[in-house]
Structure 1
């Protein structure tokens, strides 16, 4: 019985040629990310901004967004963000952080219940004060920075310098492109987004390590093959594994987006984008970087070291 092959065996795609397109595209995208970050900024959620989030569901029929927005604005807590989500008549309202501490935040909830409880069921109420939101920003930022530093240190010791530089550039590239997804879509950036970024960093690391392990193996086996052909071979030889991993992950994430509900939809969308970016990065960003590195001398040093160790062991046995 013939096994399913998403990618045929013995593929010979010329991957590194696409660097003429992938590098300008990624560079332009990165510049766009910087411009959007400096002008528009991230759409921080209540976790980081502080304030009150209320999610309601209409008891009968479709909700009247205009009427809800007008009533919410008339509560006296400033302009409220009112949005409809899902397909079951669900509405989210966000009120900015109110002066006066926790008592003032609770007043928002009390007045909102008085105004909407007759026609809407309250499904979720979340209040975050200024102190908590500030601590969450610091903790989230510190967590991401430490995780990235840890990954970069691992890559530095896991590979020789040329491969480590390629892997580090690929990981940073994936983080920048993921942040661009938040900036372009204005998807809410909250603690769940931090978890998604850290997961994408791990996925990026996995993709890069698989390809670079094969590259290092082929460098020892084919000592005269041109580097461009060798890099193409390393990507093609792992392409079937990459396709299977990416396809199964994407199918699972699509299911989460469609059926996971609003609580996990944002995480699943970011992860879906991240899987595509990490796969693209491993093949078209990290691997072609090695063309500009002295990978041949690295392989020669490794062979010399292995021979020296083997000679030392043989001499010790004698």
Structure 2
């Protein structure tokens, strides 16, 4: 008898527990927003804020205060230190932007460390210098990358599952044009992206792009919770985190698409059944694939988290949290949302591209 993680006839009532899922995700989202606004806040790394970061390793454990005092010099303003690693000999040193050249800066740090710890040699394993202008450019490009990735996803979902390629493409073109024009006024990229994202959700709702609205909302929930977790843990947002967030969006979207695709098949085969039953059946039918995909991904990301060290710690943590949250977001956010955006008849007609009903006919104005 072959080994099976999930039995073929499994029948877990996911949709019946949707209110619990909505509640838990709502609380997690609220805590994330509070952490990002009232708590530690989103701490930008030097990739986005600019500055200097040095990674050093001592042969023996050192006292944090002694280390900080040894580098408290005018040439190295805004010092903050962070110990990482199991043995406590590795440190990340952060400074505000320095006028010194990288070679001169390295020599200044090494000289200070040798003077303070003559019997405990330190090895500088990494030194990065990012100017404030470069950091600002990277911030704008990073936010834009996330927005356009999600906007493209909305177009793809609408075309594939609702057969409305032209409507979705027109929405994307208008949003891109509006974003570009408003950007010329000097509005900050962060505010611009937030407004554009809200408009995207609103347009999806009023154009009755139910699958796209559910998928995009689910992805936004995952991204916001991951960022809130990093904020609560006081972890810098750098290019590693950006890469992890974009990767998580891909993983979460893939899981959502697989489930939506099975739902579309069930709509064609069992269009006379209640929508709640079809959604539940679709999630259960793809559960084995979900468990295997997420399990192998988490095996790799947890290994990076435990064994990878401080350089990729933020990437591994964001990946691990995002992949885990993403799979539950599909089950308890994306799929259950469809129940509130239309009934079985609406989705059967939409997926087969036959009749477009009057606004509000199936409970969605």
Q: Same fold by TM-score, threshold 0.5 exceeded?
A: yes
Matched, 1:239 2:236: no
C-alpha change, 1:277 and 1:27, in structure 2 (3 Å) is same
Mean alpha-carbon deviation: is it higher for 203-212 or for 262-271? Answer: 262-271
Matched, 1:110 2:158: no
Matched, 1:297 2:346: yes
RMSD: 2.1
Q: 1:102 Cα shift?
A: 4.8
4+ residue stretches of structure 1 with deviation over 6 A?
none
3-state SS of paired residue (2:71) = helix
Partner of 2:15: 16
| Structure 2: gaps spanning 5 or more residues | 163-208, 356-365
Which aligned pairs between 1:132-143 and structure 2 lie closer than 5 A?
A: 132-143=134-145
3-state SS of paired residue (2:147) = helix
Partner of 1:44: 44
Which aligned pairs between 1:134-213 and structure 2 lie closer than 5 A?
A: 134-160=136-162, 161-213=209-261
Please tell me whether the aligned partners of residues 54 and 126 of structure 2 are also in contact (alpha carbons under 8 angstroms): yes
| Larger proportion of helix | 1
Please tell me whether the aligned partners of residues 219 and 296 of structure 1 are also in contact (alpha carbons under 8 angstroms): no
Partner of 2:271: 223
Q: 1:110 Cα shift?
A: 3.3
3-state SS of paired residue (1:263) = coil
Q: Which has the larger radius of gyration?
A: 1
Partner of 2:169: none
Q: 1:48 Cα shift?
A: 1.3
Count of aligned residue pairs for this structure pair = 301
Partner of 1:314: none
Partner of 2:65: 66
Q: 1:47 Cα shift?
A: 0.9
Output the CA distance in 1 between the equivalents of 2:224 and 2:24.
13
Partner of 1:313: none
C-alpha change, 1:293 and 1:130, in structure 2 (3 Å) is closer
Partner of 1:315: none
